[in-house]
Structure 1
Amino acid sequence: MRDTAAEFFNLPLEEKNKYATQNDLQGYGHGQAFAVSKKKTLDWTDCLMLFIYPSAYRNPKDAIEAYSAGVNKVGERLLSALSVLMGMNKDTLQEMHEGVMHVLRMNYYPTCSMPDEVLGVSPHSDASSLTILMQDVAGLQIRHDGGWVSVNPIPNALVVNIGDALEVFKYKI
């Protein structure tokens, strides 16, 4: 997956623009193409976002197919474990997510001549239930006790974020 993403982001801009985001979130764009808030500091990232589940939305490539299937299994196991931890039947959260669209987002952070004036991705919370992140570079931070804490990458590991939707489920159940 890393090699496929690197190959894509190394393409000339004209080639990447063939996959440009149109009227939905799927496709290639710059950080600002996916921004939901108006801010003065710009995101400094190129992004390729693809729908991967349900599979009817997917435009498969071998690496994306294998990676998305593996991440989907991880997500299913996490939802099962979280269901049990929340005092529910192990299938409850998985059933609540049946048919919910999953998105694969690949970010590339090009070198910037003014790094103090941009961010890789602006501070935000994930609206989803779970975010499963393959983190290759340092820079990810989480908000904790009013400050920012760095999340150091661990080779061949995944970072899992509990999103806003799962936070809501916690209080509704």
Structure 2
Amino acid sequence: MNIAVIIAIVVVVLIVLWAVGAYNGLVSLRNRVKNAWSQIDVQLKQRADLVPNLVETVKGYAAHESEVFTQVTQARNKAVQVAADPNTEPAQRIQAENDLSRAIFNLQATAEAYPQLQANQNFMDLQSQLKTLEEKLAYARQFYNDVVQKYNTKIETVPTNIIASLFHFKQADYYQIAEADRAVPQVKF
């Protein structure tokens, strides 16, 4: 066999091996993005299950704060509905969850106005559970964004961008907070 043919075969084999490795790496990262989103989903489900108990506990002490309860209930229902729809885009899900986060914050602010509620053990337990869930959610969101960053970088960088475009790998969306949540809170005394 001619040495040029052998070199050409070796080069082709190396290119094919690289392409397979690049494709598998992209698939692996895409699956990590899906897994990270699923971890967020688990935490969001736990939070959605906890919210009605928290609302009912606060209702007993602050019956005249019906607007806050309505907001929380509507935001929770929307978040659960969006989560149940398999065609929901991540951006829609993120928006619904951000709305629920704002409603929960308003509920907690309302609860602070009732000292007898602050002394209620059931409320304190629910609030502690919610705090723990919010911390887990923050970690899960951070992990998700880290994985998305790695995946998107792999899609954009040479030479794996060639494989990514050939096989239609799409960039993943970051989990971002709503613009309204970026505002600096105003503290008044």
Q: TM-score range by the shorter chain?
A: under 0.3
Q: TM-score, normalised to structure 1's length?
A: 0.25
Bigger Rg over Cα: 2
Structure with more relative contact order (C-alpha pairs < 8 Å, separation 6 or more)? 2
Where is the strand percentage greater, Structure 1 or Structure 2?
A: 1
Where is the helix percentage greater, Structure 1 or Structure 2?
A: 2
